[in-house]
Amino acid sequence: MDRKEMIKQLGEHFGVKPKYLSVPSFAYEIRTENEVYTIDRHGGITRGDGEPITMEEILNQQLEPEPLTDQEESDEVQMNQTETDEAAQNAESTNLLEELSGVEVKLNFEEHTADSLKNIINMLYSKQRLIMMAFETEEAFMDDGFAEDLNKPEIKDLEGLKEALEELGTNRCPGFQIDFNEKTFTFKLHSSNLNPERIKALQDLCVLIANYGRTLNRASYKQAQDDNPKYALRTWLIRIGMNGPEYKETRKTLLKHLEGSGAFRKVDENDET
């Protein structure tokens, strides 16, 4: 049983809405009246006291209710009046993962400059076709001429970047939005094929793009070559820091739906892996 199905079953079992904890744990939390269960990124489950517990143990355990006080009995009567509505809301929440059509990753830009934020936009434009293939989406981060138009004026500071973006129009770059008041920027991906693994992969990718953008003097917005998409994306992922065993599953998720070979730049059709 994969983690997605596990979370769904636990939510239905307890009649509660699973809570996604986002970075850095990428875990889900199931909070009941008597316990808090945490499902980590690998599908491991722990109780509130940190002790591990299996899915079977949770589903098979019989909880003994404590005797109700007079006040609790009164509260229970009141709660029963809204039980039907709450059950409907809980049933709706269990379908959250299946119905999810988009995801956002919001990060602070306090350590960023106008140049580093522009680097992020340039990188997204350069690799957006590969990223779209990875997430099986037709929704681009920005239109075809946006990055080129953004790089035409001389931008010296954040205020200049803000003015340039406002002049170009936020509707031209719906997949990357900067809030200069909150000092945050948000990656927005729309896809009908999202699951926990892909959501985690997007979060990892966005964090590394943001960090890498600060290290570059000037990122190119030139579109990546498409004759071997898997190789092009893999080498770029390694370049921005997605290497080592920590990111093995993330790389696998991102490269899964790309054609070509991850090992060789030029390959014959029969050599695709």
CB under 8 Å to 222, separation ≥6 — which residues? 126
Q: 151 and 223: one domain? A: yes
* Residue where one domain finishes, among candidates 41, 67, 99: 99
Residue 52 DSSP one-character state: B
Section 96-113 average pLDDT: 76
Section 42-65 average pLDDT: 79
Q: Give the total number of structural domains in the chain.
A: 2
Section 50-60 average pLDDT: 86
Q: 172 and 250: one domain? A: yes
Q: 134 and 203: one domain? A: yes
Least confident among 4-13, 43-52, 61-70, 167-176: 61-70
Q: 143 and 246: one domain? A: yes
* Residue where one domain finishes, among candidates 80, 99, 118: 99
Q: 206 and 249: one domain? A: yes
Q: What is the residue-wise DSSP string for 86-129? A: HHHHHHHHTTHHHH--EEEEEEE-TT--HHHHHHHHHHHHHHHH
Nearest alpha carbon to residue 237 among 251, 226, 225, 252: 251
* Residue where one domain finishes, among candidates 99, 114, 146: 99
Q: 140 and 260: one domain? A: yes
Q: 80 and 176: one domain? A: no
Cα separation, 235 vs 240, in Å, equals: 9
Q: 148 and 182: one domain? A: yes
Section 145-153 average pLDDT: 95
Q: Is the pLDDT of residue 14 over 60?
A: yes
Q: 239 and 252: one domain? A: yes
Q: Determine the structural domain holding residue 85 and report its residue range.
A: 3-99
Tell me the pairing of strands 36-39 and 28-31. antiparallel
**Cα torsion 192, 193, 196, 199: sign:** negative
Mean pLDDT across the chain, nearest whole number?
82
Least confident among 184-198, 199-213, 222-236: 222-236
Cα separation, 200 vs 253, in Å, equals: 9
Beta pairing partners, 190: 102
Tell me the pairing of strands 36-39 and 45-46. antiparallel
Residue 216 DSSP one-character state: -
What local confidence, expressed as pLDDT, does residue 272 receive? 46
What local confidence, expressed as pLDDT, does residue 114 receive? 96
Section 56-65 average pLDDT: 67
Least confident among 6-15, 66-75, 84-93, 178-187: 84-93
Section 184-202 average pLDDT: 89
Q: 245 and 196: one domain? A: yes
At position 130, the amino acid (one-letter code) is: L
Q: 207 and 188: one domain? A: yes
Q: Is the pLDDT of residue 246 over 80?
A: yes
Q: pLDDT category, 5, cuts 50, 70, 90?
A: confident
Q: Is the pLDDT of residue 80 over 80?
A: no
Q: 200 and 265: one domain? A: yes
Contact indicator for 111, 214 with CB cutoff of 8 Å = yes
